[in-house]
Each structure stands twice: as C-alpha cells, then as structure tokens.
Structure 1
Amino acid sequence: MSSSTSSSGTGCPVLDPSGSALHEEAAALRAAGPAVLVELPGKVLAWSVTRHSVIQALTTDPRVSRDFRRHWPGAADAPEGWALAAVAFQDSFFNMYGEEHRKARGRIAPAFSPRRVELMRPQVQATADRLVAALGEVPPGAEVDLRQALSLPLTMTVICDLFGVPEEMREALGHAIDAVLDSTLGPAEALAAQGELHARISAFIAYKRSRPGPDLTTDLLLGDGNDGNDRNDGSGGSGGSGAPGPEPIPEPVLIGTMFAMIGAGYETAVNLITSAVQELLDHPEQLAAVRAGTVDWADVVEETLRLDGPVMHLPLRYALADLDLGEGVVIPQGDPIVIGFAAAGRDPQVHPSCPAEFDPARADKSHLAFGFGPHFCPGAHLARLEARIALATLFDRLPELAPARPGERPERIASIMVNGPARLDVVPRPAGAVPPPR
C-alpha cells in the first residue's frame, strides 16, 4: 500500500477519513487486487472495489444488495455514532433491493428524465446569470470562493425549487447535509450531525404538509405519485392529474428520500462544477481549446467526471453469496462492499494514456461517476445540465477569471464519500479592471 493508506491492527489498509488523498489511495487499492479488505472510519471492515470492470460487474450482479436490513448480518455491530451511518443506514430507495428498489425509484426518477430536465434549462440559466453577474460586481483584484459564490447556490437553488424547500430553510438544511458527509467526525459529533439533519428534514416535511404546492415533495406526501406524464411547467410534479397514485411514503422513508434526493441533487453537482473550474484554471491551454471550439463544454464536463468524479467511496453494498472475483479474491456472503466510483475513471485498464491528466479532447472519457446499473444516479442529466450552463456562463461573462493562488491545489472536502475542493478561491476581475457595464 502507498503511504496514504496506512495499516490497522487487523492488517487491513485504513482509508484516511480526511479524504485528502482519495485518488492515491484508490490507485494503491486498484493495484492490490479486484477487491481489498479495508478499514473504514469507525473500524468497520469492508471490501474496497476500485477497478472499472469490477465495479460494473458488482453493481449489476443480483447477488449484490444495498439493503442493510436484509443482507448485512453485521449491521448491528456498527459502532454508535458511526460517521458513515447517515448514508449507509439511509432509509430510502437508495438502500433498497430488487423489486422494492425498482418501485420506489420509479416514484422519483421520471422527474429527472432528459425531457423534464431540459424544461428546467431556463431556470438554471437565470440562476447562473444572477450569480455570475454578482461575481462581476466584486472589486477588481478581490478574491471570492467560487464554491460558495456559484457552485453551491446554483445547485442548491435548483434542487430546492424542485422539491419546494422554502428560502429560509435552505442554508441550514445544506449545512446539515454537509455535516453528515464529514467522515472525520467522532461518535458524539456524528450523532449530533445526524440528529440535526433529521430535525431539519422533519421540519421541512411538516412545512410542506401545511403548505402543499406544485413540487416533488408535495407529490410524495400526498401520494399523487408519478404517473409518467410530464408537466407542462417543468416543475417535475405530477400535476394533480386526478388519477389514483401510490400510498404516501412512510415518514422514515420520506425523511431518507429527502436526504438522498436533496443531498445528492446539489452535493454532486457542486463538486462537479468546482472541480471543472479548478481544472480549467490550472490548464489554461484547455480553456483556450474550448474558446477556440476544439472541444465543447460537454467534453469538459465528461472529462471532469472521469478525472475527478464527485463521489468516491459510497457505503455500502452486501454480498448475497460468496463472490469469486478471480486473482484469489473471494468476498464472503454477508460482507459489506464499498465502491470507489471516482476511481474507475482513472483505471489504466480503461485509460492507458495519462489517466491522471485533464484532457477534454481525449476520445474515450469513460467513467462511472454517476454509478452503474439499477442504482445509476437519477439526477445525472440535471447535474450535467447545471455544470454545462455554469461553466459556459462563468467563462463567457468573466473572461479574465483567474486563480487567486496559481499552482496551489485547494484543500479537499473532509470525506471519503464525496470528492472535490472544499473551496476554490478565484479573482473574478484583475486589479485595475474596468467595472462591467450596468
């Protein structure tokens, strides 16, 4: 193992909870075998899978489940205050298996179909216009954290509008979601963060029960369901067609679903946008290629997803039978599995030429950043749209945008689950720039 992955008393490599060297760790694990038993935060052991082909195989194998209640015998032994519990024990379609998963996902996924996402384009563009205009107003030479000024408010606005989260609840809800993704938290801190998230989502659900509207949360609460018909307004709700729908989702599952959809709906895109801006600022020749029309924004987005996918070690899946992966590696029945989705894009078996380099012009940009198989991220279309619009608007309106400290790599998010810069300091306009026209 590399120095970034230490060894525990069990002899297993230990994943660094800080997430400071996720790709270096993943490279060492990938070289060690098709799966490697590792120690997660909280001293929970799981099989780490980082190879592109093995991830594809396991995420489509019916002998692999995400249902911790039915298929993880060791779930009861997870430590109290486990930092990964909010995701691993999330009570939603995210952690369901088979037909139960298919039906639960079917209530949400149609709202994120390509057609419905395209109907959201004007809203995404208007939000990007507003945020980039504000960046253009900062004094010449002043520094701004692009994550907080553009990536986060853009994606949070879009997903919260879709689910009907009122303005006054958004900031606290976002902070609560960010907190439970911090894998460095100790037991007391993790329990507090999980309790805060539960309270914030419960308060939002109570708000929507008393104030229903044309949004996805109202559809789920009222049991209108999703009959597969598109709304004309692009809001993603069922539109109150009058047709009978499924029963309302039970409260614990509804809380888990809100966490899954709102959290994944902005956290993934936040990291994607921020990472893409960082790569373009670090590689001005690639930005010049975009401006020259050699590559387009879709190329930039896909290459960023390949190089630095926004989700790394996603807990957990479970073996329903002994899984023989070859090379002498067998995952025993009942053992947990953690998939390193962001690692797949740098697999030299798929990308033998410079897999760790940012090159939007490369012909093959294969990645598994949004997952694979039945649990493929339903919000992938929306994340791609948000990223393309954010990048095009930012670099078109602020052509002199520059890194605040050229050559300095920003600190990473403190998580083994999500992957991206914790902040990205930029200078929207150089010192002495002429104020933008009003």
Structure 2
Amino acid sequence: MAQRPFVLDVTGGDVQAEGARLRALGEVVRVELPGGVGVWAVTSPTLLRELLMDPRVSKDGTRHWAAWTGGEIAEDWPLRLWVSVRNMFTAYGEDHRRLRSIVAGAFTARRTEAMRPVIERIVGGLLDTIAAAPPGEPVDLRSLYANPVPVEVICRLFGVPEDKRKTIRGAVDTVFDTTATPEEAMANTTTIYTTFGELVAEKRRSPGDDLTSALIEAQEGALDEVELVDTLLLLLTAGHETTVNLLDQAITALLTHPDQRELVLTGQRSWNDVIEETLRWQAPVPYLPLRFAVEEIALAGGGTIPKGDAVLAAYAAAGRDPEYYGDGADDFDITRELKQHLAFGHGVHHCLGAPLARLEARIALPALFDRFPGMTLAEPVSALTPVHSFLSNGHTRIPVLLG
C-alpha cells in the first residue's frame, strides 16, 4: 500500500487516467478526499467484490468510522451528506435489511416492466423536440436527452410535481459536484431537506398512485420521519444520476467508435452489449463513498485495512483493470466476452434500480439512433469536458449535428 496519500482530483478532470495511476500504486491505495480526509481506495475488481460481500465492511459511518465518531470530520465537510443520511445506503446489518425490504417492493420486475410505456412516451416526446431544432444547428444531447429521460422517469414514478423537478435536479447536481465549497454544500443540504419535506407534506395531504405516497403509507411502524425523507433523497438521487451518465457515455462512445456503432445498428451485436460495455468502460459513478472496516481486515496481497478506517470503491479504476479484462481493458469493445462490472455495486448493497436503468437505456438508445442515423459530434471529442465531479462521470454537454 502507498504510504503517502494520493490526492484525488476533485474536478474529475480525467478519472480514467487517475484510475490507471491508482492501479499502478496497488490494489488498495491511501487517498485523500476533499478536506484532507484520508481513506483507502480499492482498485481491484476481484478484491472490491470480496470487500463488498464481507460482513466486516459496513456502510454506517456513524457507528464504524473512527474519524467520524471521534469528531474529526468537520460539520461543513462537503461530502458529509454521503455519510450522515439515514437510509439503506448508509445502513448496516439488521437496519439495512429493514430499510431495503421497505423499498424493494417498489422495484420488482413487474413494476419495472410496467414503466415501459411511460418511458417510451417520454423518449418519443423528447425526440420530437430535438427533431424540431433548426436544421444544421448543433443540439446538446446531454441537456435535451441524456439528462431529462431519467429525470422525467424517476419524477413521474415518485409523483414529483413539475414545480419541484428543477429544484431537485439542481440539488442532486450539487450533491455530486465535488468542487462545491463547504458553504455551498451546507446550503444545498438545507435546500434538499426543505424541498423533500414539502414533497412529503404535499403527498400526505393529497396521496396519489406514486412511490412517494406508497412509502408514506408504509412508513408507520417501519420508518421514522428522517428515514422517510432520506430514503426519498436516496431514491430520487441514485434513481437517475447513474442513468444520465450511462446514456451520456453510451451515446458518446457510439459517436466516436463507428465500427462499434455499425455492429449494433446492423444487428450483429445487441443494445445490451452496448449498455454493459459502457457500464464497464465508463463507470457512471467513478468512486462511491464510503464503507468502513468493522474490524481489522487482513488483505491476501499483504497489509491490512485498520478497524474504523474508511474505504472508497474505485469503480472506474476497477472497470479498466488489465489484469482482469486483459490488455484491451481501455478499449470500448461491445464484442468482448467479459463485460462483468461493478457499476451498480455488488452484494447486499447492489442497486435496486439497476433493472430500471437498463430498461431506460434499452429504450432510449435505439430510439435515438433510429431517429437520427446520420448523427455526428459537432465538435472533436477532445473538446468535450467532464462534469465537475469525481463522483459523477459524464460530460457537461454533448453537441451533435443530427444529419
């Protein structure tokens, strides 16, 4: 393990190059988060799977992170919300089983498949809007398509009224913006709890056929008020950020890899191949904070993770590990046989919304390329800039000419 902490780039300027440097330092690397907070980044997909399944690894920092329980983490730490929330994302053991079981019913295969016509209508409407753009002028597929598809889906699923959608999306952007100042992060936390508190109050007054109302109905005896609001925060945040970046990166990959695009458009490869390879090649969430060692963990390759230390899952680095995927790990190749990845997590914390994210992509991607088969990037790929985050892996915009 590296002795001197590797300082992560809070801007997320090049998460893949950074991942390669981390892998070169070892499977477990001491890194520094914003605010000088030290954690262990795990870059090996094999080791990461083992740790994600290990009962000695917790997600409850309020119980198992020594720096947190010892008062070393500042109240204005920009990433504090990732630890302080009380929902299944930060729960451990019986608490996690209780909280996850309440939410699991909302993401059954039948309920997910029932969203298909809703997704198709959202996609069709957005494509009509894009098609109405002035001929020859670039359109931004990040803001006009990759972003609104998942946002509209999750907001309709949870019955979020129109007047709150922009506020919620802005708040989610700031949660993932790791360049935010402590003051901005704290102000955003206030906005989040005000907005979600208002949503709960509205649904209590006028319940509907939506998952927010269903959670409120299930709350009595199962969730306290903080857990209810924090569960909504988790579902509306995780419920679309991953999918936004999945669509963003899949669109960009196909526009910059014409041979791969030809394979899928001619039916030689499936859209599932595109989706799974995109998730491996460009993990939508490059790093996911945080997990914590309940006791000292001895590593097979030598060294230990001390009890009470924090662990950062380095999903982007793991997705390109040449020891696991071979010499072509950096290549976008939908024909590769091994596409297994950790983009949706692993073990008891595997993302419940993964089937919905995949369904959205299976509908949105072919619909886009069928509608605009001559679509090309309007600028060189080198001109595309990443979002300002090491926790979110997408572009600020994807300018294209529709053809």
Note whether the superposition's TM-score is higher than 0.5. yes
2:12 to 10, 15, 19: 19
Paired position in structure 2 for 1:217: 212
Give identity over the alignment, percent.
42
Matched pairs, number: 401
Aligned partners of 1:277 and 1:190: how far apart in 2? 31
Instruction: Please tell me whether residue 117 in structure 1 is matched to residue 112 in structure 2.
Output: yes
2:354 to 380, 385, 394: 380
Aligned partners of 1:85 and 1:422: how far apart in 2? 25
Which structure dedicates a bigger proportion of its chain to helix?
Answer: 2
* Aligned pairs (5 A) from 1:57-206: 57-75=50-68, 76-206=71-201
AA matched with 1:337: V
- Structure 1 residue 248: Cα displacement: 5.1
* Aligned pairs (5 A) from 1:12-411: 12-75=5-68, 76-223=71-218, 247=221, 249-411=223-385
Which SS does the other structure have where 1:317 is aligned?
A: strand
Which SS does the other structure have where 2:321 is aligned?
A: coil
Q: Contact 1:307–1:356 at 8 Å: present in 2 too?
A: yes
Q: Contact 2:65–2:308 at 8 Å: present in 1 too?
A: yes
Q: Contact 2:62–2:83 at 8 Å: present in 1 too?
A: no
Q: Contact 2:4–2:30 at 8 Å: present in 1 too?
A: no
Which SS does the other structure have where 2:382 is aligned?
A: coil
Residue deviations 1:75-96 (CA, integer Å, cap 9, x gap): 1311232111122222211100
**Any stretches of 5+ residues in structure 2 without a counterpart?**
none
Which SS does the other structure have where 1:191 is aligned?
A: helix
**Any stretches of 5+ residues in structure 1 without a counterpart?**
2-6, 226-245, 431-438
Residue deviations 1:14-58 (CA, integer Å, cap 9, x gap): 001001111211222122122111110111110011110111010
Runs ≥4 in structure 1, deviation > 4 angstroms?
A: none
Q: Contact 1:342–1:368 at 8 Å: present in 2 too?
A: no
Q: Contact 1:222–1:248 at 8 Å: present in 2 too?
A: no
Which SS does the other structure have where 1:20 is aligned?
A: coil
- Structure 1 residue 113: Cα displacement: 2.2
Residue deviations 1:85-114 (CA, integer Å, cap 9, x gap): 122222211100012101210111222122
Which SS does the other structure have where 2:147 is aligned?
A: helix
RMSD of aligned Cα (Å): 1.6
- Structure 1 residue 11: Cα displacement: 2.9
Aligned partners of 1:363 and 1:328: how far apart in 2? 31
AA matched with 1:153: P
Aligned partners of 1:407 and 1:20: how far apart in 2? 14
AA matched with 1:59: L
